[in-house]
Amino acid sequence: MIRYHLDENVNHAVANGLRLRGIDVTTTADANLIGATDKQQLAYAYSQNRVIVTHDDDLLKLHHQGVPHAGIAYSLRRDAVLATSCWLWLGSIGLVWQRECAGKLSFFNRPAPPPSRL
């Protein structure tokens, strides 16, 4: 089962929702990482074999720089339904093996391309 770490940009309601579904999740506060750098957050998640969930564009840059990680799940902060739907999405992929996420970047509110571009 995939384990998650939510950085401090993600609403704590997401952690609560995941926990209600039996998903193993930590938050920045749980890990005593309030105020930690993005690199420290990513290093913690990697050391614990957790996919980091974030709204922070800087983690995308770290991914593209080749910083190792157990997976990054990224969503735009402006997504109005994130706090109530994100944990359902994460819970639905929770049966995927952890190793399939390592080093990968997932966007979970990217719009589909227009039909003319398919």
The 10s digit of each residue's pLDDT in 7-31 is 988 888 888 888 887 889 999 999 9
DSSP 111: P
The pLDDT value recorded for residue 73 is 84
- Residue 71 within a domain: yes
Higher pLDDT: 100 or 36? It is 36
Phi, psi of 53 (to 5 degrees): -110, 130
- Residue 116 within a domain: no
Rounded distance, CA 30 to CA 33, Å? 8
Rounded distance, CA 81 to CA 75, Å? 11
Helix (H) or strand (E) holding 52: strand 51-54
pTM over 0.75: no
The pLDDT value recorded for residue 50 is 93
Higher pLDDT: 50 or 94? It is 50
Structure tokens, 112: 């589909």
The 10s digit of each residue's pLDDT in 22-73 is 889 999 999 999 999 999 999 999 999 998 988 888 998 999 899 999 888 8
The total domain count for the chain is 1
Of 37, 95, 90, the closest CA to residue 67 belongs to 37
- Residue 30 within a domain: yes
- Residue 117 within a domain: no
Domain that holds residue 82: 4-110
